[in-house]
Structure 1
Amino acid sequence: MLSVENLEKTYSSGDEALKGVSMEVSGNEVVAIIGPSGAGKSTFIRCINQLTEPTSGSIELDGVDLTGLSDGELRDQRRNMGMIFQEYGLVERLSVMENVLAGRLGYLSAWNAFRRDFPEEDVRHARATLDRVGLGGHDDNRADELSGGQRQRVGIARAVVQRPKILLVDEPTSSLDPETSRAVMQLLTEIAADEDIPVLINIHEVELALEYADRVVGLADGRLVFEGSPSDLDENARDTIYRATAESSSDPDGDAEGSNGTDPRMITESR
């Protein structure tokens, strides 16, 4: 289970990207984070895997506090968090198989990682995972030969072969056409069920969040202002999440998404 309590992030510029955000993610639920550009969504995801260091608060994964870890401890814990990036995060010149097997590098010794000497079991699992995401037979293709949707599937396969305890997904559909976006979201929900792990998705296409998420969380100006099921969303909550767009751009990490929304029960302050 992921447990986040009173998470805050203030940048050196004084911008407050997160203001006491708390939430839990457990089981095999799919949780979508929505909100306007600058709401803090990308910062929240990046704080969980420590790509961005939070200013204060606690982040626990299965009882292990992820804040304040040594480099070695953080390396070990990152194996438990599969990260799927908006821009895919692939090494373009490497093959599909090499990119997927990168998800196992954290389990190798430094020497074997340098040599890319993976156990045969890892290779079999990677090949089976490529079949699972619809890329069987593409093992030897270079990543830069693939379409955007195929690249995103490689990123998903790489995260799955880590055998993580949670999948963290940052804008997986922002560069994809509608049909491919739906296929990617369907794949993520299937993985959550099949692997019995939760998936936390930062997404700006609210209709996709409504269709595929079990729970929706709304951020606005760095605060959690809504949490509920997709059926809880109403116009009043949408207004609460999206009314302050221009003045709430306090997220230097990007958080670049549109503000086409939908929304539910309002939370006046973070828990």
Structure 2
Amino acid sequence: MLSVTDLQKTYPSGDEALKGVDLDVTGNETVAVIGPSGAGKSTFIRCINRLTEPTGGSVELDGLEITGLSGKELRNARRDMGMIFQEYNLIERLTVMENVLSGRLGYVSTWDAFRRKFSGEDIERAYEVLDRVGLEGHENNRADELSGGQRQRVGIARAILQRPKILLVDEPTSSLDPETSRAVMDLLTEIAAEDDIPVLINIHEVDLAEEYADRIVGLRDGEKVFEGTPADLDETARGQIYRGEEIPDDTAVKRPSDDDDPTESTTQEGAMRRG
């Protein structure tokens, strides 16, 4: 389970990108993080695996405190967190297979990593993963020969090959057409279900979040202002996330007027006191 507690990020300029965000992700659920530009979505994802250093709070993965690690311990912990990047983060001059196998670099020696030498088991599994993400037959293509959707699939395959405990996904559909975007989201949610690992996705497209996520988290100005199911993301919640509107206080007890049934009002007041 991923457990994020009071996560904060303040830049040297004094800008607060995250202001104490809490979140738990468990099982094989897909959790989507939405919000306007500048809300802190990418910072949140990158602080979890410390590609961006948080300035406060804690991140735990299966009980291991990530924020206190350094050196080899941090590198080992990152093997359990598969990262899928918005801009793919591929080495363009290398082949698809070489890019995918880079997901195993954390498991080989420095010398073998330099020579890009991997075990037969890793290579066999890489072929299986490429088939799984729809890239069978493309293993010898250079990354710069691929379409955007294919590049994103290479990034997903690389992350799968890590055998991670969680997938962290930063804007996977931002440069893709609608049809390809849905194909990528189909693939990510299938991985979550079949491999029994959670997926945490930062995404701009609210319709995709509603369609594919089990749970949605809304960030605004570095704060978590919404958490619920897609069904909970009504116009009031959208207004709070994207326009900063306050949620009306529906808990106030209505005072009975002459036209109200006093019995009904008393019953409602009593029920609210008990709740």
Both structures adopt the same fold (TM-score exceeding 0.5): yes
The sequence identity of aligned pairs, in percent, is: 75
Could you say what secondary structure the match of 2:159 adopts?
Answer: helix
Shift of 1:124: 0.6
Could you say what secondary structure the match of 1:69 adopts?
Answer: coil
Shift of 1:68: 2.2
Q: Which has the larger radius of gyration?
A: 2
In 2, Cα distance between the equivalents of 1:138 and 1:29? 30
1:39 equivalent in structure 2: 39
Shift of 1:71: 1.2
Quick one: structure 1 residues 77 and 22, their matched pair in 2 at CA, closer, same or farther if it must change by over 3 Å? same
Do the aligned partners of 1:226 and 1:265 also contact (CA within 8 Å) in 2?
Answer: no
Show CA shifts across 1:148-186 (max 9, x none): 000000000000000000000000000000000000000
2:21 equivalent in structure 1: 21
Letter in 2 for 1:150: Q
Please list, as runs of the form range in 1=range in 2, the aligned pairs for 1:102-141 lying within 5 A after superposition: 102-141=102-141
Please list, as runs of the form range in 1=range in 2, the aligned pairs for 1:91-102 lying within 5 A after superposition: 91-102=91-102
Length-normalised TM-score, structure 1: 0.90
In 2, Cα distance between the equivalents of 1:191 and 1:39? 28
Shift of 1:240: 0.3
Shift of 1:111: 1.1
1:260 equivalent in structure 2: none
In 2, Cα distance between the equivalents of 1:70 and 1:43? 19
Letter in 1 for 2:127: R
Letter in 2 for 1:225: V
Q: Would you say 1:57 and 2:57 are equivalent positions?
A: yes
Letter in 1 for 2:28: N
2:142 equivalent in structure 1: 142
Shift of 1:244: 4.6
Please list, as runs of the form range in 1=range in 2, the aligned pairs for 1:210-225 lying within 5 A after superposition: 210-225=210-225
Letter in 2 for 1:164: P
Letter in 2 for 1:140: N
Do the aligned partners of 1:45 and 1:170 also contact (CA within 8 Å) in 2?
Answer: yes
Shift of 1:55: 0.6
In 2, Cα distance between the equivalents of 1:25 and 1:91? 31
1:68 equivalent in structure 2: 68
Q: Would you say 1:30 and 2:2 are equivalent positions?
A: no
Show CA shifts across 1:104-128 (max 9, x none): 0000011111111100000011000
Letter in 1 for 2:113: A
Could you say what secondary structure the match of 2:74 adopts?
Answer: helix
Could you say what secondary structure the match of 1:227 adopts?
Answer: strand
Q: Which runs of 4+ in 1 moved over 2 A?
A: none
Q: Would you say 1:10 and 2:41 are equivalent positions?
A: no
Please list, as runs of the form range in 1=range in 2, the aligned pairs for 1:187-266 lying within 5 A after superposition: 187-244=187-244
